[in-house]
Chains A and B, each alone.
Chain A
């Protein structure tokens, strides 16, 4: 028989933690699951060298101590059927039943192909931040951070904190956009403080606008990168390149369930109303999966979803915070839009599907992702098109595709009793 929760929450980042706190406080029996071994998501990711502080520590402590919350670590949703979720952990698979479901699946980083991006030593920007917090060795390593958005500053600060030497930050947005972003910040005083604190932690690290990494070079690992900025191209020696172009809402589970999705730039987000209800009864979505909004937005929407899923009316203050945070996200998206040259970095022989080694040129004669996949195997590997699918959508090649089970590669014994029809 399937275990049943009043409120089942998928994803234990700030949005999922806020939802768990609100629902548990309202008396609901809550199941909170995450694919990671520790709660916190990406923003509050467990750090093997540094303890969580402030709000992160309090929120993590609340769900761990509250008797109404079951914390289900290292648990991945593989499939959904009949109003239940099939969840696999390292030991077993089981069906979980729920009164209400809250999707807090977050986002993944937009990683765009360019010559040399498959070399060991090239990672995402948030990617290297995540690896560093899990003990990836950075002491004495020379690291270049590149791509787009304020995440680059946060990643650079984490890299430095873990002993990496940050040689520079290269932001693709031009100087006019960066100035416009800073000029509009007065509406969010908290963000000015955050930015100032980050700048202090990054004292001495050069920040270059209008600057794009166009190639990585090396033999069996990264040795050098080529950067194109306002003064032309130059080569820089480095051990690690941390490059990410922002975030993409993780909507696969919502799409599989049949929640209405809507366009979010080149990608998709989950449609919700002001109570975080999706188009499906008793299914809520919150935070980045509803469009990239950042931590404050996730906290507000998580609280709203948690209250609503437990049958309570959310306090109005959370709605105000939500609007304020969403307005900041719009301001950010406006000023860090991807430049056209970033979309043209991949050359015909640049690998785009890293799982199957399919080069860009192999996709040229296809206009939809499914035809290309069947002919070239692009998107058919272990990541199931998560990396190349998002990249190709951002490059304007194929729109984001459909969502089919299993959502992640699963063990055969997990799939054994599952009917996917």
Chain B
């Protein structure tokens, strides 16, 4: 279907609207973001690339800010940042 992309989060495949950010794609898929050093669940805070709370691993590259990267077809995202 046009206007949608397929991507993989933590090994599971999802379809989301094309053009949205990886952060929005994780939220739309109902998937968690990173955990803090003490194990608390975290999620995007600033939405504009400053806080790094949304950081994920994208196609094997760590420390990517999910709010700054548009989701692409075939992308692999790991929430362990």
- Tell whether, in the assembled complex, residue A357 and residue B37 are in contact, meaning their CB atoms are under 8 Å apart: yes
Known: A134-B20, A134-B24. A120 touches B47 (CB 8 A): no
Known: A111-B46, A136-B27. 17 other contacts (CB 8 A): A35-B49, A42-B48, A109-B50, A111-B51, A118-B36, A120-B41, A123-B45, A124-B46, A131-B47, A134-B23, A136-B24, A220-B32, A354-B51, A355-B52, A381-B52, A382-B52, A409-B52
- Tell whether, in the assembled complex, residue B48 and residue A383 are in contact, meaning their CB atoms are under 8 Å apart: no
* Residues in chain A near residue B45, CB distance under 8 A: 111, 122-124, 127, 354, 387
* Residues in chain A near residue B47, CB distance under 8 A: 123-124, 126-131, 134, 136
Residue on B nearest A384 in the bound complex, by CB: B52
B33: Cβ under 8 A from any A Cβ: yes
- Tell whether, in the assembled complex, residue A134 and residue B21 are in contact, meaning their CB atoms are under 8 Å apart: yes
* B interface residues (Cβ-Cβ under 8 A, vs A): 16-17, 19-21, 23-25, 27-28, 32-33, 36-38, 40-53, 55, 61, 63, 67-70
- Tell whether, in the assembled complex, residue B50 and residue A108 are in contact, meaning their CB atoms are under 8 Å apart: yes
* Residues in chain A near residue B16, CB distance under 8 A: 135
Query: Within the complex, which residue of A109, A118, A128, A130 is in contact with B42, where a contact is CB–CB below 8 Å?
Result: A118
Query: Within the complex, which residue of B32, B44, B70 is in contact with A131, where a contact is CB–CB below 8 Å?
Result: B44
- Tell whether, in the assembled complex, residue A386 and residue B51 are in contact, meaning their CB atoms are under 8 Å apart: yes
In the assembled complex, the CB of A361 is this many whole angstroms from the nearest CB of chain B, namely 15
* Residues in chain B near residue A137, CB distance under 8 A: 24, 27-28
Known: A36-B68, A130-B47, A135-B28. A356 touches B20 (CB 8 A): no
Complex formed: what's the CA distance from A122 to B33 in Å?
13
- Tell whether, in the assembled complex, residue A130 and residue B67 are in contact, meaning their CB atoms are under 8 Å apart: yes
In the assembled complex, the CB of A239 is this many whole angstroms from the nearest CB of chain B, namely 11
Query: Within the complex, which residue of A48, A220, A381, A386 is in contact with B41, where a contact is CB–CB below 8 Å?
Result: A220
Closest 6 pairs (CB-CB, A-B): A135-B20, A120-B43, A130-B47, A135-B24, A127-B47, A134-B21
A-B contact pairs, 12 of them (CB 8 A): A35-B49, A35-B68, A48-B24, A108-B46, A120-B41, A123-B44, A127-B46, A131-B47, A136-B27, A354-B51, A356-B37, A382-B52
Query: Within the complex, which residue of A126, A134, A409 is in contact with B67, where a contact is CB–CB below 8 Å?
Result: A134
Chain A residue total in the interface (Cβ 8 A):
41
- Tell whether, in the assembled complex, residue A135 and residue B44 are in contact, meaning their CB atoms are under 8 Å apart: no
Interface residues of A in 372-400 (CB under 8 A from B): 381-383, 386-387
- Tell whether, in the assembled complex, residue B25 and residue A135 are in contact, meaning their CB atoms are under 8 Å apart: yes
Complex formed: what's the CA distance from A37 to B16 in Å?
19
Against B, the Cβ 8 Å flags (1 = close, 0 = not) of A103-135 are: 000001101000000111111101111110011
Residue on B nearest A358 in the bound complex, by CB: B37
Most chain-B CB neighbours within 10 Å: which of A123, A130, A134?
A134
Most chain-B CB neighbours within 10 Å: which of A128, A354, A411?
A354
Against B, the Cβ 8 Å flags (1 = close, 0 = not) of A252-288 are: 0000000000000000000000000000000000000
Complex formed: what's the CA distance from A191 to B41 in Å?
40
* Residues in chain B near residue A36, CB distance under 8 A: 49, 68
